[in-house]
Amino acid sequence: MTPLELRADVPALQEGVYLNHGAHGPSPRYVVDAADAFVRAHEFDSPTGGDPYADAFEEFDRTRAAVASLLGATPDEVALTESTTAGVNAIAGAIDREPGDVVVRTDLEHPAGTLPWQRLEREGVEVRVVDTAGGRVDVDAFADAVADARLACFSAVTWTHGTRLPVRELVETAHDAGAFALVDAVQVPGQMPVDVREWGADAVAAAGHKWLLGLWGGGFLYVDSAVAPELAPRAVGYRSVETPTAPSPTYATGARRFEVGSANPAPHRALREAVDAIREVGVPTIESRIHDLAERLVAGVPDDRLLGPATPESGLVTVDVPDPEGAVERLGEAGIVVRALPSDAVRASVHAVNTTAEVDQLVGALEREW
């Protein structure tokens, strides 16, 4: 499958210019159909012709395997969650902490990577924020902040600038200090390769409703098999343990201890379909096309208006405009969908399913904003 063949399967892309995949990636028709077919079978057929629980667990197992293959992990290292936020919160609750412990994050984090730590501050945890410039993290400043930390949380690709952070180097720096390394990778799967072994992180949280073009609710959490036994989730249910009815149940093997109860399998059935589609196109092909389209967009933006790198590192391109909210509204009236950021900028998220004509249309519309 080519990127444009994938585009043809996405109904939302047939009307207007959609450039907001970093927030929500509209799904191909067959991804939605897969979720719908599962729900119908689960509710209409399984109760009398099968076993609703067994059928659901089989879907979970298949999706864990598909996600594990995408990440370079094993199925037991993957927990199926609702979202990236759910994954970050799961780790935040499972760390054995004491008042005075230190958590480190950067000032580039999405609320998924800030709000859980703000809550822990109320329980006596110190949260240190590493200041950055231009979407870049100074590794020495990060090392100073994490020197006595219990955990470090940072993004693989920044939602504010579209920059790629040096994940492996930051993970190694955190590990050298004895800190747990948690990566928010939601802007990575579907637009560039992921290799959790290469990163070396203890945990990686992500979701499928952006660049993978899956549904909301199809999140996933990687937890290294070497560290999983040390983690005790705060939320526990029958999917979290090996034998729910045992007098003293033990946690499920690996990351599965972070799965709780009767979640709807449909978003994860859709996630598996979406992963299959992305892999059929080929992640390297997608990454290359995204780079070319983002480069075309950047070339049309004046240097003093560009807030991300002059050579794009992802499909996220952030532009300074005088009135971001107004610009988003005016662009929307012209049939172009982008988003405003809290940093008083607009961000376009260019996917491989976009076209050069759409990029050129955005450039022309942006020229009227300055």
pLDDT in tens, 134-175: 999 999 999 999 999 999 999 999 999 999 999 999 999 999
pLDDT at residue 57 greater than cutoff 90: yes
What tens digit of pLDDT does each residue of 62-83 get? 999 999 999 999 999 999 999 9
Q: In whole angstroms, what is the distance from residue 15 CA to residue 9 CA?
A: 13
Question: pTM for this structure?
Answer: 0.96
Domain 3-27+282-367 has CATH 3.90.1150.10: yes
- Looking at residue 187, its amino acid is Q
Share of the chain above pLDDT 90, in %: 95
Q: Domain extents for the chain? A: 3-27+282-367, 36-278
Domain 36-278 fold is Aspartate Aminotransferase; domain 2 (3.40.640)
Residue of 62, 71, 142 lying closest to 107 (CA atoms): 142
Tokens linked to 151: 């955990």
Cβ neighbours for 32, distance < 8 A, ≥ 6 positions apart? 215, 270
User: What's the rounded mean pLDDT across residues 88-94?
Assistant: 96
Sequential DSSP letters for 169-212: HHHHHHHHTT-EEEEE-TTSTTTS---HHHH--SEEEEESSSTT
Asked if 190 and 137 count as a contact pair (C-beta separation under 8 A), the reply is no
State CA 168 to chain mean position distance.
17
